[in-house]
Every structure is written in C-alpha cells, then in structure tokens.
C-alpha cells in the first residue's frame, strides 16, 4: 500500500512518497541536524533515508520544490549529480551516493540568478541544466513558452526539450492511477506568477504545488502538497481552479500545509488569538476537506507565546486545529510526533479506508520486560 513519510527536520521539508508498485519519490532534502548539539532533536536525515531505502540506491523522482536552503540543505553530500565528478564519489561519511532517476524542478531553478546565493543552490541549477541539455532525467514545471528564451540562449533547440516542461492545470504524464495508483495534478507554478521584475524571482511564489490523488481498491485519497507559498498565491490557485470548474482538484484527505505553519499562508495578519484566513484559503480548508482529514505541519513544535516571530505561529496552528476539529481529523507537527522530546518520522498509510497515521507500537520484548513480574504462589 502507498504511504507518506515526513521526517522531523525542524522548520524544513523532506518527505518520501512510496507507491504501491515500489516507486519512491522524495520531496526536498534538508539535513539540518547539528551533530555536535546533543539537544538537537532533528533527525540524522541521511541515516534515516538510507535505512528506509535499505539496499536500494535510487529514487524514481527527486522533487526540489524551490531553492530556499531549508528545502535542499546538504543534498550535494547525499545525491549523485551527473554534471560534476566531484559529486559522484563517496559522501563525506564514506557512503555511496543516491541517484535520482528523474528531477522535478520549477522553472525558477533554471532561470534565477544565483551568483550571490549558496553554492549548493548553484549546483542544483547546474544539475538541472545538465539534464535538460541531455534531454533526459528532468521535468520542469512552467509554461513552455515562458522558458523558451532561456533555453535557446544556451544553444538548446526548444522543440527538442519542450516535452520535458509541464504547465499548471495538467497531470504529470509519467504517473497515472491505473498503472501507478496515483496521479499528480499541477497547481503551481502558474502563468500569473511567471513574470519577473528586473530579474528578481520570489522563490516561494514559484514553488511546485501538487495534488497527489491515490487510488486504492477503488477508493480515492487526495493529498495536497503545498510548498512555501503565500495566501496570495493560494488565492490565485483557488480562483483559477474554481473558474475552470475543477473544485475537486482542491479536495483533500491529507494537507501538507505551506511554509511551516506561517500565518502568511493563511491570511495577511497573524492576529492575537487565531489567524483569520482569506475567503479563498478558508474555502479550501473548511469546504474541501473530507471527514477525518489530516493536516501536517513540517515545523518545530507550536510555541505557546510570541517570543520568536518566525514560524510556526500559534495563532495559525489554532486555525488549522479548528479545521481538523470540525472534521474529526488530526493536526500533526513533524517535530512533535509522537512527542516533542523524541520526534520520529511521521508515517501516513493510504488504503481503502483512506489516510491514517501509523501509530507507534511498543515492541513485544519491551512490553514483556516492562511488565511486572507475577507474584510467587
């Protein structure tokens, strides 16, 4: 059966989607744990992923939703990159690198000026261009004509690679419910966000946003995968979707919320008590969510005060909790599952009963050892 595994990496994203046929997709990579800090509760991401991969050495797809550090930190010391031999030997801890059969990236990964940015983001950009120039192993999310000039400036014939570019409002052709048990519908980046002002790109507004619609034994489970986008972008997505009479594309059983429970993904103001959602955002959460829906916040534990202005925001968490309370669902924080003192990967299983969180179980041996000994006689 398919499943989603969200890793506790702080205010950052890494999660893996396992399909029924054995395919594996990884969304972002952020290995942010400080190994010298014994109080750092974030997981050793490389070790966790290798344990999950077992003997396998690749992902069918690696998705980099956008180029903010909390979505790619450490990826060049984990993945095998084709554009440079220095990323093809052993990793810094002597391990074999993990290959990506296909990369999915938004157009901004190709077009953004990264001269003053992290070197690692530049390496992702080089890898994306290398794969596009070789006409394989990549899918770019953009309007095809929006990329035409950039592609032709590099001496690439546009007609040779346009099949490697996909626009919003379509399903990704390499996956379908009949053959893979899932289809991916592209919400964003969409055309209204492709115009750039003097070369400046807002990475969050250009991030990949998808619906993953799973089909198991005739039952469809809808998982919304929202990267770091603002309420304005979400509002655009809702308006376009409704105008085209595709409301069903915004239904959800699981919602991976945007931007680590920041108020900016819900409304223009944080508020004192509970963040007030815009009409479009509230329609999507309140109307389109199914009973027993699960909302996942890839973030630190929700604070009880406002000492830190960075997300997660307690007022916004209160809004999301209100949504799940009304649906008899669950609001889950990755760094608080199953408990803040010892977070572990959050696994959501998908089957004919839709989505459910895999509960932590006590091993039988531990249960026996922990039990009181029977009294003699």
Is 362 a residue whose pLDDT tops 60? no
Whether the ω angle into residue 9 lies within 30 degrees of 0, i.e. cis, is: no
Q: What pLDDT does residue 307 have? A: 74
Q: What pLDDT does residue 201 have? A: 54
300 and 344 in contact (C-beta within 8 Å)?
Answer: no
Is 324 a residue whose pLDDT tops 80? yes
Q: What pLDDT does residue 363 have? A: 56
Computed from CA positions of residues 235, 239, 240, 245, in that sequence, does the dihedral angle turn out positive or negative? Answer: positive
150-167 residue pLDDT tens: 999 999 999 999 999 999
14-73 residue pLDDT tens: 999 999 999 999 999 999 999 999 999 999 999 999 999 999 999 999 999 999 999 999
Is 371 a residue whose pLDDT tops 60? no
Which of 2, 9, 52 is closest to 253 using CA atoms?
2
Least confident of 180-194, 199-213, 291-305: 199-213
260 and 271 in contact (C-beta within 8 Å)?
Answer: no
Which residues, listed in sequence order, are joined to residue 197 by a DSSP beta bridge? 200
Is 85 a residue whose pLDDT tops 70? yes
95-154 residue pLDDT tens: 999 999 999 999 999 999 999 899 999 999 999 999 999 999 999 999 877 789 999 999
DSSP-derived secondary structure for 304-361: SSSS--SSP-HHHHHHHHHHHHHTT-EEEEGGGSS-TTS---EEEEEETTEEEEPPP-
Give strand ranges (E) for 168-307.
Answer: 182-188, 209-216, 219-225, 252-256, 289-297
Confidence of residue 204 (pLDDT cuts 50, 70, 90): low
Q: What pLDDT does residue 376 have? A: 41
295-317 residue pLDDT tens: 999 999 999 987 778 999 999 99
142 and 132 in contact (C-beta within 8 Å)?
Answer: no
Rounded to whole angstroms, the Cα distance separating 163 from 130 reads 16
Please, what is the average pLDDT of the chain?
A: 92
Confidence of residue 206 (pLDDT cuts 50, 70, 90): confident
For tokens 């990264």, the residue is: 114
**The pairing of beta strand 346-351 with beta strand 58-63:** unpaired
> Residues of 267-282 as b/e, b for ≥16 C-beta within 10 angstroms?
beebbeebbbbbebbb
Neighbours of 169 (CB within 10 A): 16
228 and 204 in contact (C-beta within 8 Å)?
Answer: yes
Residues whose CB is less than 8 angstroms from the CB of residue 327 and which lie 6 or more positions away in sequence, other chains included = 289, 290, 291, 292, 293
146 and 191 in contact (C-beta within 8 Å)?
Answer: yes
Q: Of all residues in the chain, what percent carry a pLDDT higher than 90? A: 87
Give the right CATH number for 3-370 from 3.30.450.40, 3.60.15.10, 3.40.50.300, 3.40.190.10: 3.60.15.10
Q: What pLDDT does residue 194 have? A: 45
Judge if pTM exceeds 0.85: yes
Domain ranges of the chain: 3-370
Tokens of 199: 């070369």
Which of 301, 324, 323, 326 is closest to 314 using CA atoms?
301
273 and 324 in contact (C-beta within 8 Å)?
Answer: no
> Residues of 130-160 as b/e, b for ≥16 C-beta within 10 angstroms?
bbbbeeebbbbbbbbebbeebbeeeebeeee
Confidence of residue 198 (pLDDT cuts 50, 70, 90): very low
Q: What pLDDT does residue 309 have? A: 86
């Amino acid at each position: 059966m398919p499943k989603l595994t969200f890793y506790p990496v702080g205010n950052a994203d890494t999660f893996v989607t396992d399909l029924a046929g054995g395919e594996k997709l990884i969304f972002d990579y952020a290995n942010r744990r400080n190994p010298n800090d014994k109080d750092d509760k974030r997981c050793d991401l490389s070790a966790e992923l290798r344990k999950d991969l077992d003997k396998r050495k690749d992902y069918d797809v690696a998705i980099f939703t956008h180029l903010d550090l909390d979505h790619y930190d450490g990826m060049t010391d984990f993945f095998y990159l084709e554009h440079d031999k220095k990323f093809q030997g052993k990793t810094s801890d002597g391990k074999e690198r993990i290959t990506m059969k296909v990369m999915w990236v938004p157009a901004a990964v190709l077009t953004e000026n990264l001269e003053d940015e992290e070197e690692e983001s530049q390496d992702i950009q080089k890898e994306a261009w290398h794969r596009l120039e070789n006409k394989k192993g990549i899918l770019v999310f953009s309007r095809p004509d929006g990329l035409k000039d950039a592609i032709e400036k590099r001496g690439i014939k546009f007609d040779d690679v346009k099949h490697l570019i996909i626009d919003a409002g379509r399903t990704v052709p390499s996956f379908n419910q009949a053959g893979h048990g899932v289809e991916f519908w592209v919400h964003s980046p969409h055309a209204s966000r492709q115009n750039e002002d003097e070369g400046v790109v807002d990475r969050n507004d250009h991030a990949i946003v998808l619906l993953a619609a799973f089909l198991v034994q005739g039952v469809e489970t809808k998982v919304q995968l929202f990267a770091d986008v603002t309420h304005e972008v979400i509002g655009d997505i809702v308006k376009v979707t409704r105008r085209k009479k595709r409301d069903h594309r915004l239904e959800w059983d699981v919602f991976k919320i945007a931007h680590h429970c920041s108020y900016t993904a819900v409304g223009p103001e944080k508020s004192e008590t509970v963040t007030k959602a815009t009409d479009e955002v509230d329609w999507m959460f309140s109307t389109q969510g199914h009973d027993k829906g699960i909302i996942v916040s890839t973030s630190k534990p929700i604070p009880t005060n406002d000492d830190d202005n960075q997300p997660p925001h307690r007022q916004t968490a209160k809004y999301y909790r209100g949504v799940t309370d009304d649906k008899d669902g669950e609001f889950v924080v990755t760094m608080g599952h199953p408990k803040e003192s010892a977070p572990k990967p959050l696994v959501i299983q998908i089957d004919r009963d839709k989505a459910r969180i895999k509960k932590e179980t006590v091993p039988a041996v531990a249960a026996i050892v922990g039990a009181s000994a029977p009294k003699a006689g």
